[in-house]
Amino acid sequence: MTATTPPWRTLAHRLADELATEGVLRSPQWRAAIETVPRHVFVPRFHTQQRDGRWSETGAESPDWLDQVYRNQPLITALATTPRGSQVTVSSSTKPGLMIRMLEALDLEDSHRVLEIGTGTGYNAGLLTRRLGDDQVCSVDIGADLVATARTRLHELGLRPTLVAAHGGAGLPGHAPFDRIIATCSVPTIPWAWAEQVREGGLILADLKRSVHAGNLVLLTRHADRLEGRFLPRWAGFMAIRDTDCAPPDRHISFTPADGAHSTTSLSPHPWESLIPWLLAQSRMPSQLTFGYRGLTDTGAHQWAVFTASEGSWCAVAMNATNDRRDVRQHGATRIWDEYEKSRSQWQNLGEPGWDRFGVTVTDDGTHRLWLDEPDGTHTWVLPRAAGQRATWG
């Protein structure tokens, strides 16, 4: 670095050093990409949620904008308003450390052609294009404005990957076959269209998430008749794939604690403290779950943690414990909490295996079979089709 080096280059270099020290950034090609693709061009403004729930915006007028952009953190770049008036995030620039972890896991060769699902700001498409070249990178996003803006920014930097505004669940058949597909939004099941567009031996890296954040990044190899691979050891979470280019509809939970069958539990109500059991439990649940807090205690604290299934079942777990036990109320055809407790006991009896001991096999009829240690091992779980999933996903 010299006295004439632009400040962003010094910051990009610092970011690369930090990711290398963490052991995430390993190859010189990705270091070169991080150091030469300016993240601030893709993130001219970002949103931050305040303690009171409101959002504030930071841009070049703020003295720490540039420094923040080159920190190893995700940055929210687009919000949308739901019909009930809540603001939800619809796009972001992924945490660079996570992006590089995924790019390293893709094990790219110079000749590879890659499809990215979830263009967002265009920053990751920029990293890929710097590494592989214009003709070898395609990226799709359901947000037409996002794609148009990403294209302008990439062109500014002389990068011209193929960008398309489309539902990524269908892949990009007109540009297949690909050597790699990387999804930067989570999917409840892996669309078979992606398998059809990856050559045999090629890889798909995606965040396979059911509801309540239960799931993780999975690296799947394309075999003649299936996709198969393991979850990555470290958990990561992306925003969920959406079916329309607007805010998702609000889901109203109708829940009356008095209507529920009563029991107690010693377990924490927070799903993120127990994500693997929650994923296994969903093999026995007909539909996706939503999680939220309801009711307030006299002191203004949340009263219930509530899980609702789209077919109408719900369970509520009291936030306050008495003698280490919490009240549970369950209602409807699926006893959500009972299923979770069963899965948690099963996982404990198996020795509490981590993500990388679990894998997935996906076949062309849409079946997703989770397995422990080996695809033909004794412990398997079949995930039901995700509720609301478009038929075209395969």
Q: Which of residues 336-365 bind ligand SAM (CB under 6 A)?
A: none
Three-state secondary structure of the chain: CCCCCCHHHHHHHHHHHHHHHCCCCCCHHHHHHHHHCCHHHHCCEEEEECCCCCEEEEECCCCCHHHHHCCCCCEEEEEEECCCCCEEEEEEECCHHHHHHHHHHCCCCCCCCEEEECCCCCHHHHHHHHHHCHHHEEEEECCHHHHHHHHHHHHHCCCCCEEEECCHHHCCHHHCCEEEEEEEEEECCCCHHHHHCEEEEEEEEEEEECCCCCEEEEEEEECCCEEEEEECCCCCCCCECCCCCCCCCCCCCCCCHHHCEEEEECCCCCHHHCHHHHHHHHHHCCCCEEEEEEEECCCCCEEEEEEEECCCCEEEEECCCECCEEEEEEECCCCHHHHHHHHHHHHHHCCCCCHHHEEEEEECCCCEEEEECCCCCCCEEEECCCCCCCHHHC
Binding to ligand SAM by residue 140, rule CB under 6 A?
yes
The smaller minimum CB distance to ligand SAM, of residues 242 and 369, is found at: 242
- Tokens found for residue 5: 């080096």
Q: Is 121 in the site for ligand SAM (CB under 6 A)?
A: yes
In the bound state with ligand SAM, the residue whose beta carbon lies nearer, of 37 and 317, is 37
**C-beta of 240: minimal distance to ligand SAM in Å?**
7
Q: Judge whether 204 and 180 are in contact, CB under 8 Å.
A: yes
Site string for ligand SAM, 73-92 (x = CB under 6 A): -----------------xxx
For residues 118 and 366, which CB has a smaller minimum distance to ligand SAM in the complex?
Answer: 118
Please report how close the Cβ of residue 346 comes to ligand SAM at its closest, in angstroms. Answer: 32
CB of 90 to ligand SAM, least distance (A): 6
* Residue in the structure block whose two tokens are 């995606």: 206
**Contacting residue, 19, 24, 69, 142, with ligand SAM by CB under 6 A:** 142
Is residue 139 among the annotated active site residues?
no
Which of the residues 161 through 200 are near ligand SAM (CB under 6 A)? 167-169, 184-185
Q: Which is nearer to ligand SAM, 174 or 300 (CB)?
A: 174
Interaction of residue 94 with ligand SAM, rule CB under 6 A = yes
Which of 27, 56, 62, 91 is the catalytic position? 91
How buried is residue 66: exposed, middle or buried, by Cβ count under 10 Å (0-12/13-18/19+)?
Answer: middle
Q: Does 117 interact with ligand SAM (rule: CB under 6 A)?
A: yes
Q: Which is nearer to ligand SAM, 188 or 359 (CB)?
A: 188
* Residue showing the smallest CB distance to ligand SAM in the complex: 120
Residue 287 CB, nearest approach to ligand SAM (Å): 20
Please report how close the Cβ of residue 197 comes to ligand SAM at its closest, in angstroms.
14
From candidates 39, 141, 358, 384, binder to ligand SAM by CB under 6 A: 141
Within 229-288, the residues that bind ligand SAM by CB under 6 A are 238-239, 241-242
Q: Round to whole Å and give the CA distance between 30 and 103.
A: 8
Q: Is 118 in the site for ligand SAM (CB under 6 A)?
A: yes
State the Cα–Cα distance between residues 135 and 113, nearest whole angstrom.
8
313 scored as a contact of ligand SAM (CB under 6 A): no
Q: For ligand SAM, which residue of 24, 38, 124, 236 counts as binding (CB under 6 A)?
A: 124
Pick one of 114, 146, 276, 306: the residue that binds ligand SAM (CB under 6 A). 146
- Considering only the stretches 142-150, 172-180, 271-279, 379-387, report the one whose residues sit in contact with ligand SAM under the rule CB under 6 A: 142-150
317 touching ligand SAM, by CB under 6 A: no
Catalytic residues: 91
Binding residues for ligand SAM, per CB under 6 A? 90-94, 117-118, 120-121, 123-124, 140-143, 146, 167-169, 184-185, 238-239, 241-242
